[in-house]
A and B are shown apart, each in its own frame.
Chain A
């Protein structure tokens, strides 16, 4: 009986220590994963914002004028697209 009780106590203590160690280990892993998720979310937002920054009108105009040597068209060079409604009215 006493041997059985002794084994039970040793088993219980071993399980308790293993459980505690495993909890701490899982805690570390969860924290790492949570940090990873947050980092990835941050990366997505960073990329979206970088895209907005790269497409800022000031930058686009600078590049168009300086690198691509584009110029603003004059009134005579402008052709306005007709809307679907205009085309429908014309066909009637």
Chain B
């Protein structure tokens, strides 16, 4: 009896042990299945649920003017995104999106786009990028599962319209589209990093780990002076508006270094709310658009004349008759008799200048044009610079020498004209115009390469020409550019615009120009003024020269440089005449 019970108990234990072993065997098999057979698949699934690697966008560098005023800075701006959950019905997921649709300002089209992404099981969907921080807070207060905020940066321009074309704009991903933002995009952008995000069962982030440190973009210090830029823009907009012109350009530089102190195109635009039309924001007219330089080009003709030794200061030219070259008749803007070489330039006689050009000869004139830098880029650090149009001498026709001598049959940019007047201001030395003064990372300044210098004409000839161009502003065609108490030098220009419809120069559309610098003794600034298609008065001396005068006067005030006292004329009265007689 006792033995039989013991046997039964033993049998039960054996059955239990066998059952346990079998159960363990099943567990082991299942573990092998999970850990070995499907290991790769489940590992990636777990990784997807618990971890996420995202790119860390570095902060784009700030752009400052030469005095440290902020011109462009990236500001934190939240973006709303959705992390879709697997297994959740699409309808329920869309309900959450619909709850924030109004706050995010989502259109029907955008909602459909989001739905199709959810259907395609995209793990990360942007709902709205760079929204107002207050709206972002409201969205997060709804505590919707799967809706998160990502901290991005949005470009902000505290000065609004100031230097809009020069600074340029960025796209939604903070990549430069125009201006300095485009030219120095790689410098400003920095290098992306990587961040590992650990998530809990509710898919909330609980740990962030930087696995690749982002390198912030470098800051740029421009050569621009905020105040001079403001003066230039105010005066340019006034001139273009009052003259009913199509557009205008002004560039101001420091001749000695080539540093651009102001560069303005009008019409301009608000950088914080840029227009969609690329024609408005896409190019910097001052370095991209070309036009005939007209009489401002007589700077080059005069330089070639003296440098080649074919003309001397005492030479005289008969300017009383019109000139016929080929089928073209050249005439002056007013009647002259015989003019000396300086007077030809001071009074901007086309007839006299053509005679000078013909004495110089084609090759000498062409060589001087190239030496001045026309027909090639100046190398200014801005995008999409044009070279201008200068035909080689073998393509010149019977009237080319005459036309080019007075600034036709050649197309130039405003920045090339600036470089040319800087040669005169620097007593014969050309400088490369520049816009970025320093590149800064973590407050460590990396001085940019200084401007390149090269001699174009001898110092003696440049000094002689300065006297001539000073006379232009005192007794010549550019008296409207004269600034009381300061010595300025310059040259006016008026060119007829090329009309593609008639295949020739228009008789009703003109470009008014002025190039100059001041003070003559030690130039502080040089300037180019271009007013396109002014209505009514159209001569450079009437339209562009007054802009030089106004800007120059205000720059001197800003730089606190007092005018030289004008010598007072002695007024002789009866009383002091008696004293003198005694």
Contacts and interface: CB of A to CB of B under 8 A. Distances in A.
Interface of A: 24, 27-28, 30-31, 34, 38-39, 42, 45-46, 48-50, 52-53, 56-58, 75, 78, 80-81
Interface size class of B (residues with CB under 8 A): 20 to 34
Contact of B226 (A30, A50, A57): A57
Interface in B150-201: 151, 156, 158-162, 198, 200
Query: By DSSP majority rule, is chain A's interface helix, strand, loop, or mixed?
Result: helix
A34 B210 CA distance: 12
B282 interface: no
Contacts of A58: 159-162, 230
B447 interface: no
B322 to A, nearest CB: 43
B76 interface: yes
A57 B156 CA distance: 17
Interface stretch (B67-75, B290-298, B312-320, B521-529): B67-75
Given A24-B206, A31-B208, A56 B158 contact: yes
Interface string B33-77: 000000000000000000000000000000000000110010110
B207 A49 contact: no
B75 A38 contact: no
Contacts of B198: 27
Contacts of B367: none
A49 B73 contact: yes
Contacts of B230: 57-58
B206 A52 contact: no
B562 interface: yes
A71 to B, nearest CB: 15
A86 B495 CA distance: 45
B136 to A, nearest CB: 12
B227 interface: yes
A57 B227 contact: yes
A31 B207 contact: yes
A27 B158 contact: no
B6 to A, nearest CB: 27
Given A48-B70, A57-B230, A58-B230, 13 more contacts: A24-B200, A24-B207, A27-B206, A28-B206, A31-B207, A45-B76, A46-B75, A58-B159, A58-B160, A58-B162, A78-B557, A80-B562, A81-B560
Contacts of B206: 24, 27-28, 31
Contact of B75 (A24, A27, A49, A80): A49
A49 B156 contact: yes
A38 B151 contact: yes
A49 B156 CA distance: 8
B73 A27 contact: no
A50 B208 CA distance: 31
B205 interface: yes
Interface string B191-227: 0000000101000011110000000000000000011
A11 to B, nearest CB: 26
A53 B162 CA distance: 11
A45 B205 contact: no
A53 B70 CA distance: 9
A42 B161 CA distance: 24
Contacts of B200: 24
Given A58-B159, A78-B557, A45 B75 contact: yes
A20 to B, nearest CB: 11
- Across the A-B interface, the 10 shortest Cβ-Cβ residue pairs: A80-B562, A53-B158, A27-B207, A52-B158, A42-B76, A57-B230, A52-B70, A27-B206, A56-B159, A49-B73
